[in-house]
Amino acid sequence: MKKITYNFKDRTAIITGGAQGFGLDIAKRFLVSGANVIIWDMDSEMTDKAVKDLDNPNLSSNKIDVSNFKEVQECTNEILKKTNIDILINNAGITGPTATLWEYDIEIWKKVVDINLMGTFNCCRAIVPNMIKKNYGRIVNVASVAGKDGNANASAYSVGKAGAIGLTKSLGKELADKNIAVNAVTPAGAKTRILDQMTKEHVQRMLSKVPRGRFLEVEEFTSLVCWLSSEENTFSTAAVFDISGGRSTY
């Protein structure tokens, strides 16, 4: 697949959950396109490895828990002392265990929602004011088809991603009179480590719902995110972009 290169020169992007999977591939494409990239991730070992492997002077990282607003705000303030934040990719997320709602551990349920929904809110809450000040920004919230359809035995994940979709529509409308685009992407299952958190039965059930008969390739996802994050996206905002191989049709 031919990769289109966008012009992200002099743009600074924060990618949450950027140490692996979708986030890491987005970081790679952003760097090739000239961006300064900051990875926010809780996994310091994976983050250190990513930074070392990519070996790019325009790449840096912070260990941060996106569900903790104080951490997010303090880190944002430090970054803004040196540069603007032009692009925000809210990619951090966890699936949580596979369980029926009435058997779901309450504290784990809250944790899944906190990371997937409150993490997205926290990052937007801290970073958007600077985007407003500069009248420029591109925000992409990584949701899921689970947020549209609701996956059985994944209520916390489905709720968190549905909330991220609602947040996207609301915030996009609030910022529509500015040069700030806020969009969500809703991938189906993809070949990332997140599949390792699920049972084989759950993974097979996901795959059976995809008309194309395969999982999403990471590079395909990154291509969509890059366009939404670029200056070429001058009109789309408060929207949900499906990339599910035909699973979702709305």
- Please indicate, yes or no, if residue 7 is contained in any of the structural domains: no
Angle at 98 between CA 93 and CA 99, to 5 degrees: 125
- Please indicate, yes or no, if residue 203 is contained in any of the structural domains: yes
- Please indicate, yes or no, if residue 166 is contained in any of the structural domains: yes
- Please indicate, yes or no, if residue 248 is contained in any of the structural domains: no
- Please indicate, yes or no, if residue 171 is contained in any of the structural domains: yes
Note the pLDDT tens digit of each residue in 109-121.
999 999 999 999 9
- Please indicate, yes or no, if residue 226 is contained in any of the structural domains: yes
Give CA–CA dist 155/157, Å, rounded. Answer: 6
> Which residues constitute the domain of residue 232?
12-243
Note the pLDDT tens digit of each residue in 142-186.
999 999 999 899 999 999 999 999 999 999 999 999 999 999 999
Q: Are 249 and 25 in contact (CB under 8 A)?
A: no
- Domain CATH for 222: 3.40.50.720
Would you name the residues annotated as active-site residues? 157
Number of domains in the chain: 1
pTM over 0.85: yes
- Please indicate, yes or no, if residue 2 is contained in any of the structural domains: no
- Please indicate, yes or no, if residue 4 is contained in any of the structural domains: no
